[in-house]
Structure 1
Amino acid sequence: MTALVASTPAVDTDAIGHAAALCLRREIATYPKPGLVSPVDPGAHDDMNAAMMNRSADALAPYLAALAQAGAAGAGMDRLRAIGIAAEAAMMVATGGVNTHRGAIFGMGLLCAATGFRARYGIAAPLGTIVAQHWGAEILRGPVALHSHGTTVARRHAAGGARAEAAAGFPALYATALPALATARRLRPDDQNAQAVQVLMTLIVGVADTNLLYRGGPAGLAFAQDDARAFLTAGASPRGTGARARSRSTTASSPGGSVRGLCGPAGDDVLRRGARRVTLALLCSGQGRQDRAMFDLFVDEPAAAPIFAEAAAILGQDVHHLVRTAADDRLHANATNQILCVARGLAAAACLEPIGPALVAGYSVGEMTAWGIAGLWSPAATLRLTAARAAAMDAAGGAEDGLGFVRGLPRAAVEALVARFDCSIAIVNPGLLFVIGGTRAQVAACCDAALSQGAATARPIAVRVASHTRRLSAAVAPFQAALLEAQPARPVRGRTLIGATDATIVRGAAGIAGLAAQLDTTIDWAATLEALVERGVDRLLELGPGTALADMVRAAYPTLDVRAVDDFRSPAGITAWIAR
């Protein structure tokens, strides 16, 4: 793992604390919230009101700032816990002894610590990933309140609760809350309250809220979820009479666990302290989905012609003729495959300009495409460096190497399988989808064993190199030397490049070591997608070839607007979709 070096000499932790307190105030102001305190009514809480909760939120601001400062300093969980205890005492003073925000101190406090850490080191990893990696184990090992609501529910109903959610990196925030927020922003772009209500109701439907389980048991949870589902289905106005009726229907219980999830997306913008939200992401495809028609959409486009000419010069043959007539062995050979895939992505992007502001991320060799689209290299330089990448990989790898995939088994089970067959996990995708690498015989045997252990699907794929595994370690140094010699520029204005190895923002030459290291390092594509969603992306376009990445995102984030270039009949149709 690359050692982290501080990129920001000082982090404005007061601004982070203020932003976090604003998140809490936004949650209080949201209405309707079944069973929860709002400016309209106290819900199921006869011991508090909105004014009290706002006092509590204001009292917590300096402690949330202190948590951000501790995170920036790399503090352990003991230090964070001590600040949290002090914050709870300040809350009790502000409220006269009423627990208004204990859960928020824990969840929002960890997010603040992660925000401080991320700002200090200039990384783009999702906040949840930072929490899980740096404090997850300590969270689970920490003291347990034997008679708390969460502990009681864990014993009675085997529900994980706030500790398990935080230790895992807040999966409900990324799988449910942020996609719901993206959808709500599209539907009601000028109504922040409606967006927050949509997120809350989606969380109630999709999360086993421990407060609801404690107060009403499984039947109470099911009732609240059915009621929230009816609200979403009916599409009631958040301030209409229908909404008020639905709000009152579950006031006997308070979905406090769900509202903790609401606080995260409520601060989606402010925790980034005013950064402009870019809503479009371009996904650059990897190998394995090239086909005979992969260039047809752009064959007559003038913007694509120089890219196809450079690819032809490298491959020694017109690329249109090659993809139509080459034998399968030639088409899927690593040196050919990588050039074709990158040429396709570069051509698609060139024909769609001007695209406007966008985040860009690449999957495997697609990261080369992403660097080119972001403007760090010219298209010609991108293709030449891709050829150098393929040559280094072929020289380091074995003639019988390849990749496969396993879907539907837990990561621990896949790790045991790849160890048994001398393979490696190459890419971690959402939805329990893992790409594995090794010799083709070992990959095939591993896939067969995975099927026998209950995998939903598993098979080799048409990639003849063990990318992102230790089998390519000898390729890293020569590829890095070629990258350094090329001297990349900084990304062009309007393009934010997200590195797939560790979901960091790539700003230029400093990212070369990571790009080279991905040849023999597992890629966490699931974390890359989380980073995009966390930054507010609600539309994603896969440049191709193929629709594998778009299909993956649709399955993991069904509320997002996801398309692939191969879904369209013409470049004009794609540009019309982008311009919507």
Structure 2
Amino acid sequence: MTKSLIDQARDYAINALHYEVVLLPKPGLVDPQSNGAHTDMNVYTFINSITSLSPFFTQYIQTGFYHQQSFDTLFEPLRKIGKQAEDAMLTATKGINTHKGANFSFAILLGATGLFYQENCPSTWTAANSDDVLSIAAKICRHLIEHDLEQLDKEEDLSYGEKNYLTYGLTGIRGEAVAGYPTLSKLLDYVRQLPDEGEVKLLRSLVYLMSETEDSNLVHRGGYEAMKNVQKDMKKIHEANLSKTALLHALTEYDQIMIKHHLSPGGSADLLSLAIYFLQLEGLSFW
């Protein structure tokens, strides 16, 4: 039973990354019809990346499942595996960063899922179970900002998110993790109430995320004001509650704006993948 649950969680995480990359139209992001604002990657780059990460997803869950110490001591073993996964990703993509942020979060959340499965094997996964895993994730990451972000003045090779913290005070995905992924939790509450529209439900989810998320990718590419403008534009689309046809048209048009300004909401895409993972656990199907 445990192996079956571990395999299922791994498969749902892999599915989530595939579902995200094939979803379209996604403003500024890679999909099967557009490379978005990216000139160095396409949908095949993402497929290669997902394949390279897959074996490590099993390791994340197993590491959590067999962990016997305090929750916060799980972070370092997960980080060690995560670095191996990142190296495998960069080899598969010839050095292109496709899933660094998603890999970080899936390491935490799959590890948290493994910890959850130590004591719980629910026959039907509920929203409360998803909340339990997010709470465990916060405990795993309890000291992450203090450990990572407050020591950055001693580092030389900084990520986009780390530079954003020093420049704007944005904690990015680390802040999300330490707080138990509040933006993801709000998205899950929102999407559970949406009507069954298949992939359109995911597009509405992306719009919601782009209106809420302090996206480090947008800040890196266009600055803080560009990120705020994207949030404002997406909020208008979100609040308009457009029909499927009107939504597809609006997102197709906004894709051209994002491409023109070289903007890509990669942080929102990562959070969407995480949401898809939990929605599958909760029994939602997209076909």
Instruction: Report the TM-score range of the alignment, normalised by the length of the smaller protein.
Output: 0.7 to 0.9
Shift of 1:113: 0.8
Counterparts of 1:276 and 1:23, CA distance in 2? 13
Which of residues 223, 235, 242 is equivalent to 2:242?
Answer: 235
Contact 2:20–2:272 (8 Å) recurs in 1:
yes
Residue equivalent to 1:268: 278
CA pair 230-61 structure 1, distance change in 2 beyond 3 A: same
> Structure 1 residue 180: deviation in Å?
2.6
> What's the TM-score once normalised by structure 1's chain length?
0.43
Correspondence for 1:221: 227
1:363-408, CA deviations, whole angstroms, 9 ceiling, x for partnerless residues? xxxxxxxxxxxxxxxxxxxxxxxxxxxxxxxxxxxxxxxxxxxxxx
Secondary structure of 1:85 counterpart? helix
Determine if the alignment matches structure 1 residue 81 to structure 2 residue 79: yes
TM-score by length of 2: 0.83
Q: Secondary structure at the match of 1:269?
A: helix
Which of 131, 156, 161 matches 1:150?
A: 161
The match for 1:303 is none
Give 1 or 2: higher helix fraction: 2
The residue aligned with 2:252 is 244
Judge conservation of contact 1:236–1:243 (CA < 8 Å) in 2: no
Counterpart of 1:226, as a letter, is K
Q: Name structure 1 gaps, 5 residues minimum.
A: 1-7, 278-580
Q: 1:70-109 alignment to 2 at 5 Å? A: 70-74=63-67, 76-109=74-107
d(CA) in 1 for partners of 2:197 and 2:172? 33
Residue 236 of structure 1 and its aligned partner are, at CA, apart by: 5.2
2:137 to 123, 131, 150: 131
Give the structure 1 partner of residue 11 of structure 2.
18
Q: CA deviation at 1:161?
A: 0.7
RMSD of equivalent CA atoms: 2.2
1:146-199 CA-partner distances (Å, limit 9, x unpaired): 521111111221111111111111111112x11231233x2xx042x2111111
**Which residue of structure 1 lines up, in the alignment, with residue 177 of structure 2?**
166
**One-letter amino acid of the counterpart of residue 267, structure 1:** Y
Match of 1:111 in 2: 109
Q: How many residues align?
A: 262
What whole-Å deviation, never above 9, does each CA across 1:458-512 have from its counterpart, x for those lacking one?
xxxxxxxxxxxxxxxxxxxxxxxxxxxxxxxxxxxxxxxxxxxxxxxxxxxxxxx
Between the aligned partners of 1:84 and 1:64, the Cα distance in structure 2 is 9
2:62 to 69, 77, 81: 69
What CA deviation, in whole Å up to 9, does each residue of 1:400-452 have, x standing for no partner? xxxxxxxxxxxxxxxxxxxxxxxxxxxxxxxxxxxxxxxxxxxxxxxxxxxxx
Residue identity in the other structure for 2:208 = T
Maintained 8 Å contact 1:140/1:167: no
Pairwise CA distance, 1:83: 0.4
Q: Are 1:42 and 2:35 an aligned pair?
A: yes
Structure index of larger Rg: 1
> Retained in 2: the 8 A contact 1:10–1:120?
no
1:88-121 deviations in Å (ceiling 9; x for gaps): 1111121121111000000122111111111121
**Code of the aligned partner of 1:256:** G
1:165–1:78 distance in 2 versus 1, CA, 3 Å:
same
Contact 1:13 1:66 in 2 (8 A): no
Query: How far apart, CA to CA, are the structure 2 residues paired with 1:65 and 1:243?
Result: 35
The share of aligned pairs that are identical, in percent, is 28
Q: Secondary structure at the match of 1:250?
A: helix
SS in structure 2 of the partner of residue 98 of structure 1: coil
Q: CA deviation at 1:133?
A: 1.5
Relative contact order (C-alpha < 8 Å, sep 6+): which is higher?
Answer: 2
Is 2:26–2:251's contact at 8 Å kept on the other side of the alignment? no
Give the direction of change, closer, same or farther, for the CA distance of 1:204–1:116 in structure 2 (3 Å limit): same
